[in-house]
A and B are shown apart, each in its own frame.
Chain A
Amino acid sequence: MRQLLRTPAGLAGTILVALMVVVAIIGPPIWGVEAERINPSVILQGASDAHPLGTDNLGRDILARVMVAGRLSLLLALLTTLIGAVVGTVLGALPSVLPRRGARLVTGTVNALVAFPGLLLAMFTAVVTGLGAKGAVLGIGVAIAPSFARLTQTLAASVAGADYVSAARMLGVPRMRVMTRHVLPNIAEPLILNLTQALGSALLALAGMSFLGLGVQPPSFDWGRLLFEGFNRIYDSPAVALGPAVAVALAGIGFNLLGDALARAAARTTTPAKTAPAPVVARQEIEEPDPEAVLEVRDLTVTFPGGVTPVRGLSLTVAPGEIVGLVGESGSGKSLTASAIGGLVPYPGEVTTGRLRLCGADLDELAEHERRKLLGTSLAMVFQDPMASLNPALRVGGQLAEVATVHQGASREKAWDRAVDRLDHVHIPEPARRARQHPHELSGGMRQRVVIAMGLMGTPRLIIADEPTTALDVTVQRQILRLLRQVTAETGAATLFISHDIAVVGELCHRVVVMYAGRVVEELPVDQLVAGAAHPYTRALVASLPDMDTDRSQPLASIPGRQPAPAEVGAGCAFASRCELATDRCSTELPPLIPYGKAHQVACWEAQ
């Protein structure tokens, strides 16, 4: 409730709906007499002090009539909505009970009727039942039903397909109980939300029917009927029509805003993070830049509002021809590191760096267009899901070619030819034909090749591959890894390979960088990974991974506890609470990343 009142729209909706309810309750007792009092001396008057909205053809006060009409308008809308909701929910639930043929018939009918405008159905019933509220209520009620039916159907289908419903069915939980305990509670909320909005549209549709003279008939009157009577006089005294019009509009707006706000409040399941002061990251002395390095990152930090810091003071150097693996579990900040290097951290994340150099150029010092060109042609990125990485609406070749037309000023034909050439280069058979296809016509592995080919349109110096094989089968993974190795060797580019899978990293990479809770905890040559790792986390990670030689008679190592979330990381070593070797010092003092043998660095007080 408090959530609801927090936004201005929610507040306005709540107030308006409350106002309508109050008017409906107190309207007839207070203004009822005046609304019916016939006064021949003040017939058809415009707005005046005595009659702010004027009088009608019998001299009755229109303001009083507007206040009284609220009850009938609301009650009819309520009745209409109830008819629609009951019929609709039953229709929507039917397919799950009926045999397949019947279910398809119901679904088909509902789908056909959903698109049918309510007003048409209402006019149909008005012809059959004659003019009056009955026809309007029935017609509009029936017209609302299909949308309820459809909503019930989609909701029930999505919940009925949920794993927890399957589990309950397997446990032999009775059908009724599955319905009442699992399905209904999880679909009730959106259904009730829909009720609010349906109430608003029913009210408007009824007003429309009455306004046309097809709905409520005298001597009864609702807002629409008052509008009908006032509209004929709109040229002489607009207030007569505008009064009821405003009442209808406010009711419609109120129900709609309230429905919107309710839906929003229901969708917001998580409360915003508490704001904590952003941690002060100790700046390290930065040595001279390395002219050879393709990528040089010093002191990279990514913060989000509320003191959430998923990447903390990360430093990394990658040399030409080198494949560096960045490994860590979900939430370690490895992917965000990749995004930060590519300049793709989403709002409201903030990136600060002591130094960020790509191909010998300091990215912070380059002019905007130079930086775009450098990143656009020298940096290639590959993401996890090849299904999502290509634009489904565009041809594969066009997506490749645009890199050349945009950054290298190539003509369309030249760019297309190069695209086909690049597809050929990543071993896509029949590249000319494939280039003309859309992404959905390609397999997952082939799409990932296309993404890699896209990076080869320029002259890549650095390839950042973020979990590029996680969504692929092992045999396809093998081919993609081979391709990455080949491309790195040919172009002399460097590859930063990000993965949760330490075995893949161990197979592909020359050097491994291990991240934990936003920091690098160890950096080591790949041949040291199995036997020479110094950090307890790296060692536990290697030990917990079953491979084809693991001793099956021994239990697997596992690490108790869990990685702290970015907002929970304390002052000391983030791994201390899960570490067997941890001392008091570990939880209070941050271990720096220091050299530990050749090409090997570790951040641990207890590393032996």
Chain B
Amino acid sequence: MAGIPRLQGRRLLAGGVSLARARSAFLLRHLVRFVISLAVLLVASFAMIHLIPGDPVRASLGQAAPIELIEARRAALGLDQPILTQLGTYVRNVLSGDFGTSFLSGEPVGDVISARLPNTLALALLATVVALLIAVPLGMWAGVRTENGRNRGTEATFTSATGTAIAVPEFLYAIVLVAVFAIGLGWFPPAGKGAPATYVLPILSLAIAPAAMIARISRVETLRELGSDYVRLARAKRLPAARIYIRHVLPNTLTATLTIGGLLLTGLIAGSVLVEYVFAWPGLGLRIVESITQKDYPVAQGVILVYGAIVLVVNLLVDVLLGVLDPTSAVKET
């Protein structure tokens, strides 16, 4: 049915030259935004120590600590300097890779980060890849099966299964997986990092909920594209179904799927803290929990800063990737 005759309301985009200009303006804008956010993050992590009520050194060392030790610690941290001088020193140090020294172990925080960051990143990236590989085909399949409300059974199963899977947080998956596959069945090691088998349970526990989320998005996007006129036209041309789904529908669903995928990756990095804790995975997450409970402020400060920076970098990459994949998004945004 034709419905209401539509009036053409959209204005034509100008030709190639301004498109290229729009694209570089788009990149510049995102870079500027990234640098500003990074600066705000730096100030926030600096301020963190100063927001602690009372004296952070005394809070860390305890009331019984000798006054000489506290004074020495304060001087080492530069806490006796004016605040702006402290900020300047802090920024300079961070930019040259000096994140301070741990209260507890005395090792440089920079060393802690460089030793542990790769383990955390490996976990988060592998989990993202696994989640995307499972979820995108699953979501597309579900979309194709449930087009125009056919196969209501599949739809109900899919939505409640993914709804349930999304609602369970990664640390519960981790605990249950450990209880069943490590302790109960003994198939995988319960903790630690080493052989490839040690990766399986941590990655699974991190990937399940995001995979369910991405599968949902992918299905909705697939349904929307299937209802569009260009798919109708492709069907009128009698193109093979597989060609319609893979060549026509898939690229158009990826934009939204990757946006969510990128957001999930940042969530995944946070989730990895809990999963590392369950599996005693030697990443940053395990260390930050220790440092907060034991009031080892330099480590907490450094690790939070790194986590924040990773989130910002991931967001930047997702935005830029989208701009490249979907040439109109760069222009639309203006």
**Is B327 touching A440 in the complex (CB atoms < 8 A)?**
yes
* Most chain A beta carbons < 10 A, residue from B44, B172, B267: B172
What is the CB-to-nearest-CB distance from B173 to chain A, in angstroms, rounded to a whole number?
9
Q: Indicate if the CB atoms of A227 and B175 lie closer than 8 Å.
A: yes
State whether A257 and B271 are in contact (beta carbons under 8 Å apart), knowing that A242-B175, A347-B148 are contacts in the complex: no
Q: How many residues of B sit at the interface, in one of the four size bands?
A: 35 or more
Asked if A253 and B13 sit within 8 Å, CB to CB, the answer is no
- A389 interface contact, C-beta 8 A: yes
Cβ-defined contact, A394 with B247, below 8 A: yes
Which of A8, A235, A260 contacts B190, CB < 8 Å?
Answer: A235
Interchain nearest-CB distance for A401 vs B (Å): 12
B3, A330: Cβ atoms closer than 8 Å: yes
Across the interface, B163 reaches (CB within 8 A) one of A126, A131, A260, namely A260
Within the complex, the shortest CB–CB distance from A52 to chain B, in Å, comes to 16
Verify A454–B311 contact, CB threshold 8 A. no
Q: A120-B308, A392-B328, A444-B12 are in contact. Are A127 and B292 (CB under 8 A)?
A: yes
Assess A117 versus B8: contact at CB under 8 Å? Given A208-B169, A257-B164, A403-B237: no
Task: Report the stretch among B69-77, B81-89, B196-204, B272-280 that lies at the interface.
Answer: B272-280
Which of chain B's residues have a CB closer than 8 A to the CB of A321?
A: none
* Interface pair B233/A392, CB less than 8 Å apart: no
A466 to B13 Cα, complex, angstroms: 26
Distance between Cα atoms of A421 and B269 in the complex (Å)? 52
* Inter-chain contacts of B53 with A (CB < 8 A): 129
| A238 to B183 alpha-carbon distance, docked (Å) | 9
CA A388 – CA B172 in complex, angstroms? Answer: 44
B296 CB, nearest partner CB in chain A, Å: 10
Known: A120-B307, A123-B292, A466-B2. A256 touches B7 (CB 8 A): no
Q: Range of interface residues on chain A?
A: 35 or more
Shortest distance from the beta carbon of A169 to any chain B beta carbon, whole Å: 21
Per the bound structure, the CA–CA distance linking A200 and B234 in Å amounts to 42
The stretch among B99-107, B108-116, B134-142, B238-246 that forms the contact with chain A is: B238-246
Contact indicator B237/A454 (Cβ below 8 Å): yes
A7 sits at the interface (CB 8 A)? yes
Query: Within the assembled complex, what's the spacing in Å between the Cα atoms of A257 and B163?
Result: 6
Contact B6–A235 (Cβ < 8 Å) = no
Other than the given A9-B159, A394-B248, 16 more pairs (CB < 8 A) read: A120-B304, A123-B300, A129-B53, A204-B167, A208-B171, A212-B277, A231-B175, A234-B179, A253-B164, A384-B2, A389-B230, A393-B252, A402-B239, A441-B15, A444-B8, A467-B2
Interface residues of B (CB under 8 A from A): 1-8, 10, 12-13, 15-16, 19, 33, 37, 44, 48, 51-53, 59, 147-150, 156, 159-160, 163-164, 166-169, 171-172, 175-176, 178-179, 183-184, 190, 228-230, 232-240, 243, 247-248, 251-252, 263, 266-267, 269-271, 273-274, 277-278, 288-289, 292-293, 297, 300-301, 304, 307-308, 311, 315, 326-328
20 contacts between A and B (CB under 8 A): A8-B160, A117-B267, A117-B271, A124-B304, A129-B53, A212-B274, A235-B183, A241-B179, A248-B169, A249-B167, A253-B168, A310-B1, A375-B236, A381-B232, A385-B229, A388-B229, A389-B232, A406-B238, A406-B243, A470-B5
